[in-house]
């Protein structure tokens, strides 16, 4: 079953290579979607794929890369259908 989630990552998540790390992780899980910085200092992720892969990706986002500090995630269901593959999008 395919699942699409929009995830907002709060904490020290900008300036620590979070988007590059997320890009690599998503590709490893076969996730479609994107990652982008937001002007409010959070990082936003759209993750679409098999339910197990999306849930595993969310678990990885809770940890983040070594130099990040993830305080919390805000997770929502999404109807957005991303293009195949995973990209680093422009800042919103």
pLDDT at 92: 72
Please state the rounded mean pLDDT for residues 42-50. 98
pLDDT at 35: 98
Please state the rounded mean pLDDT for residues 3-21. 96
Single out the residue of 5, 21, 34 nearest to residue 70, CA to CA.
Answer: 21
Q: Which residues are CB-neighbours of 15 under 8 A, at least 6 positions away?
A: none
Position 62 pLDDT exceeds 80:
yes
The active-site residue, picked from 8, 24, 36, 37, is 37
The CATH number of the domain covering residues in 2-88:
3.30.70.100
- pTM for this predicted structure: 0.95
**Residues forming beta bridges with residue 76, ordered by sequence position:** 6
Please state the rounded mean pLDDT for residues 12-35. 96
Q: Where are the domains of the chain?
A: 2-88
Token reading at 38? 């937001």
Position 77 pLDDT exceeds 80:
yes
The active-site residue, picked from 19, 36, 39, 69, is 19
Token reading at 21? 């790390």
24 is annotated as an active-site residue: no
């Amino acid at each position: 079953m395919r699942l699409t989630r929009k995830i907002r990552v709060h904490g020290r998540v900008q300036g620590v290579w979070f988007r590059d790390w997320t890009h690599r992780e998503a590709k490893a899980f076969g996730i479609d979607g994107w990652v982008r910085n937001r002007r409010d200092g959070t990082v936003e992720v759209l993750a679409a794929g098999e339910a197990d892969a999306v849930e595993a990706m969310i678990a990885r986002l809770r940890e983040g890369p070594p130099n990040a500090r993830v305080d919390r995630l805000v997770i929502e269901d999404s109807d957005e259908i991303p293009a195949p593959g995973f990209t680093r999008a422009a800042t919103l």
